[in-house]
Chains A and B, each alone.
Chain A
């Protein structure tokens, strides 16, 4: 039986929920780890969210939920590949939970859970995002923890 695919990815980052929220919503930040993609939005429920890559709009989506710095959800529809245009928009949700450190000196650890769902059973986009999110989120973690994104992500759109 074919069931609608759903992608879930958890990552843990030595940062604060506020800094992680900024990493997800500040175009200057996303540009560094998201293959040069700038995410632009007012980040309020119902507002538009645009992905811009090399000046071109590659996503034109809508914010579904925004509760900074804990919960963010938006529709997801790539516009830059013709063969994918027929597929309906899916949705991606980011949930941020802070774990208290066992010692104050060490600082907090934040768990980010990314859930991407709402795909048709024969989705062409699903295999692409399944590869893309670990790449993007690994680079974001490195950027938050070391100040430098992973180099491989630069120049490759998700």
Chain B
């Protein structure tokens, strides 16, 4: 796969007081992702070409893709197709990369969401709102043993999610 065709559109950096191994384990274990990733469980075959999915708590398929780079505990890249929003399913998949840098007592985790097409900024809004929630939850979980208190994120984000769906629908119709 030619990764150069994917252009970074959203980058989020956080520093976590944990080892790279702990961060890697949290990102790739379903029992842990369900605690910080909006209740979703990851299922991932940790090798290039391996299958990757997120499942929602009610068993609905959330995200689907393939492993592109697997270099534990430093780098994981997967293709990413949003399945739970009907309007998003037909879009070309994006690429999500986690880079874990060991800085001694802390790691720097960099999440990059990259796209192979030019997208309306509105279509990036879901990720721009969601990633900080996910990765701040991960940080709190690893540093304190519990995730952030639950709050109504979907309620807060609904107007921008609706705009995102509308933009995705227009994009699909125009191609």
A139 within 8 A of B: yes
A141 within 8 A of B: yes
The stretch of A17-25, A63-71, A143-151 that contacts the partner chain: A143-151
B59 within 8 A of A: no
Q: Which of B104, B140, B143, B144 contacts A152 (CB 8 A)?
A: B104
Which chain A residues border B128 with CB–CB below 8 Å?
10
The stretch of B14-22, B39-47, B160-168 that contacts the partner chain: B14-22
Which chain A residues border B137 with CB–CB below 8 Å?
12
Instruction: Kindly report which residue of chain A lies nearest to residue B132, judged by CB atoms.
Output: A10
Task: Tell me how many residues of B have a C-beta within 8 Å of chain A.
Answer: 26
Instruction: Kindly report which residue of chain A lies nearest to residue B17, judged by CB atoms.
Output: A150
Could you count the A-B residue pairs with CB atoms below 8 Å apart for me: how many are there? 72
Which chain B residues border A31 with CB–CB below 8 Å?
none
What's the Cα separation between A151 and B139 when bound, in Å? 15
A13 within 8 A of B: yes
Task: Let me know if A151 and B105 touch, CB within 8 A.
Answer: yes
Task: Let me know if A102 and B150 touch, CB within 8 A.
Answer: yes
A88 within 8 A of B: no
B123-136: CB near A (< 8 Å → 1, else 0) gives 00000110011001
Which chain A residues border B152 with CB–CB below 8 Å?
99-100, 102
What's the Cα separation between A14 and B146 when bound, in Å? 11
A138 within 8 A of B: yes
Task: Let me know if B151 and A100 touch, CB within 8 A.
Answer: yes
Task: Let me know if A141 and B150 touch, CB within 8 A.
Answer: no
Instruction: Kindly report which residue of chain A lies nearest to residue B149, judged by CB atoms.
Output: A106
What's the Cα separation between A131 and B16 when bound, in Å? 15
A residues within 8 Å of B by Cβ?
9-14, 99-103, 106-109, 131, 134-135, 138-139, 141-142, 145-146, 150-152
User: Can you list 21 A-B contacts with CB-CB less than 8 angstroms, sorted by A residue number?
Assistant: A10-B128, A10-B129, A10-B132, A11-B14, A11-B132, A12-B132, A12-B136, A99-B153, A99-B156, A100-B152, A102-B149, A131-B13, A134-B15, A138-B15, A141-B139, A142-B17, A145-B140, A146-B143, A150-B15, A150-B106, A152-B104
B residues within 8 Å of A by Cβ?
13-17, 103-106, 128-129, 132-133, 136-137, 139-140, 143-144, 148-153, 156
**7 further interface pairs, Cβ-Cβ under 8 Å (given A103-B149, A151-B105):** A11-B136, A13-B136, A14-B149, A102-B150, A138-B15, A142-B143, A145-B144
